[in-house]
Every structure is written in C-alpha cells, then in structure tokens.
C-alpha cells in the first residue's frame, strides 16, 4: 500500500527526526491511526518529499524518522486552468478533479455568465474552500507539487494572463479545431479557459481571442463546467508527456 502523504514546512523536513503535530498530526493519529513502524511521506507541497517511518505515536502527534529525502523538479511546461466560478459545490469538485490529474495553477474566473458570484464579503471564504479542496486532493493523489489557486480574476485580468501564456486555449464546443490536434509548447504556461454554465459571452470570446487564445473543442459531447477542466488538462498533460 502506498504510504499516506502529510504536509510539513520545509524547515521541519530538514531535520532527520521531527514531530508532526497540529491538524496533520491529529489526522494521522485519530483518523489514520498510524502506529510505530508504519511508513509515512511528508511533503512541503513545493517539490520536497521526506520518506519517513513512525517511531512514536501520541494523541495528536507523530514522531517521525526520515529515511530519505528527494526533490522533484518543477515541470518545464505548466498547465493552468482558468475555471469560471460555478454554482454550489461544483467549484470544489472541479478543483479536486483538476488537482488529481495534475493541473499546476487554478485561476477562479468571475465570468459574465457565471450563475454563482463571489461577493466581496464572501470571496475570501469561497477562495479558502477552493484552496482547501486543492490541498486535500493533492495529498490524496500523492502530489509533491501542490497546485496554486490564485485570487479571483475578472475578465480583464484573465485577458492579461492569456497574453502572457506560451499557449492559451478557450474551450468552445463549436470551435473548428480539436484540443487534441493543437501543437503544444514544450515549456512555459499552457492556459485552458473553462466557461460557466451559461457559456462564454461574445464580448469575452472577442477579448480572449484577440489576446491570443485559440478556440478548441474537446469532443463530441458537452461537458459540465465542473468536469471540462480536468478532461482538457488530461489531454494537455498527455501531450506534454506528463501523463502516460
């Protein structure tokens, strides 16, 4: 069985023996019920992984001995998804799925036709849920690099990001090109733009394509806003040789 993954600060992982406490320690001892002799991996979420063994378990704390450390280099080609804000818990579902397949950056997008709106007094809480979903999904999928979930952007901010990307793709079921047919760069950022339930508005489409986004379709069926990003990212990650 693959060892469970927990999160620790880089300074903690630098020691040959350390104590995992706080929320991670409580989860390890009260939920996972880990015991001495069992294997555990601890990561800082930024490429560093410490392979450890449990030497002692106390309520809310695990004492760990480091067997070895390894550092995974950052990918040369990063995959980012601008995810339009969707209603209910579908946003968190989208974040979970994208994290599990390997997306590097998730950008919450306040699209014109989004049914859900992050009001100023609740935006921090909503963003916190997305970031928490990303963190937990990264641990579950044994990722060493956790995805960045940025602040919410309006269309103007997204247009700027499109212009700075090595390749930007606007997912559009009516597009003449398939995403699988696009030639992808070998380095830099590939940005995928996923619209809301009501679709991307004509004004947004014009602004994004004028900034350099290429419209492309996924396949013969129409996917929900909560699943399109993960499917598109899987195709791109396969094209970048990061999948398969």
53 DSSP β-pair partners: 39, 65
- Residues 91 and 143 both lie in one domain: yes
- Residues 63 and 136 both lie in one domain: no
Nearest by Cα to 179 from 217, 213, 223, 209: 217
Q: What is the pLDDT of residues 166-206, one digit of tens each?
A: 999 999 999 999 999 999 998 999 999 999 988 999 999 99
- Residues 15 and 123 both lie in one domain: no
pLDDT value at 1 more than 80: no
Say which residue, 121 or 13, is predicted with more confidence. 13
Q: What is the pLDDT of residues 37-67, one digit of tens each?
A: 999 999 999 999 999 999 999 999 999 999 9
244: in domain? no
Average pLDDT over residues 220-224: 87
Element at 71 (helix H, strand E): strand 61-71
- Residues 18 and 33 both lie in one domain: yes
Given the DSSP bridges, would you call strands 5-7 and 39-43 parallel, antiparallel or unpaired? parallel
Domain that holds residue 111: 77-239
- Residues 102 and 117 both lie in one domain: yes
- Residues 148 and 170 both lie in one domain: yes
DSSP 8-state assignment for residue 241: T
What's the pLDDT at 9?
94
What's the pLDDT at 154?
96
196: in domain? yes
Say which CATH number the domain at 24 has.
2.40.240.20
- Residues 48 and 90 both lie in one domain: no
What's the pLDDT at 244?
65
162: in domain? yes
Which residue, of 71, 94, 121, is where some domain finishes?
71
- Residues 13 and 113 both lie in one domain: no
Rounded CA separation 207/84 (Å):
16
Which residue, of 46, 71, 96, is where some domain finishes?
71
Rounded CA separation 213/139 (Å):
32
What's the pLDDT at 222?
85
- Residues 40 and 89 both lie in one domain: no
What's the pLDDT at 105?
98
Say which CATH number the domain at 204 has.
3.40.1280.10
Which residue, of 54, 71, 88, is where some domain finishes?
71
- Residues 67 and 107 both lie in one domain: no
- Residues 135 and 206 both lie in one domain: yes
- Residues 81 and 63 both lie in one domain: no
230: in domain? yes
Average pLDDT over residues 131-150: 96
What's the pLDDT at 242?
83
Say which residue, 151 or 122, is predicted with more confidence. 151
Q: What is the pLDDT of residues 159-177, one digit of tens each?
A: 999 999 999 999 999 999 9
141: in domain? yes
39: in domain? yes
47: in domain? yes
44: in domain? yes
What's the pLDDT at 122?
86
What total number of domains does the chain contain?
2
């Amino acid at each position: 069985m693959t060892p469970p993954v927990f999160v620790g600060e880089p300074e903690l992982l630098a020691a040959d023996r350390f104590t995992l406490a706080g929320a991670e320690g409580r989860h390890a001892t009260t939920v996972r019920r880990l015991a001495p002799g069992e294997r555990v991996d601890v990561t800082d979420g930024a490429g560093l992984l410490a392979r450890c063994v449990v030497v002692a378990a106390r309520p809310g704390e695990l004492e760990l001995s480091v067997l070895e450390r390894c550092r995974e280099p950052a990918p040369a080609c990063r995959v980012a998804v601008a995810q339009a804000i969707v209603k209910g818990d579908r946003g968190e579902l989208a974040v979970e799925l994208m994290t599990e397949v390997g997306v590097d950056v998730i950008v919450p997008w306040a699209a014109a036709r989004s049914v859900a709106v992050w009001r100023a007094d609740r935006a921090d809480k909503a963003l916190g849920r997305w970031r928490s979903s990303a963190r937990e999904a990264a641990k579950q999928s044994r990722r060493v690099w956790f995805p960045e979930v940025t602040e919410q952007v309006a269309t103007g901010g997204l247009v700027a990001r499109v212009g700075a990307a090595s390749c930007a793709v606007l997912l559009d079921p009516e597009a003449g090109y398939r995403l699988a047919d696009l030639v992808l760069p070998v380095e830099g950022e590939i940005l995928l733009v996923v619209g809301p339930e009501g679709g991307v508005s004509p004004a947004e489409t014009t602004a994004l394509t004028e900034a350099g986004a290429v419209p492309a379709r996924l396949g013969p069926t129409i996917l929900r806003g909560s699943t399109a990003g993960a499917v598109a990212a899987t195709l791109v990650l396969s094209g970048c040789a990061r999948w398969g």
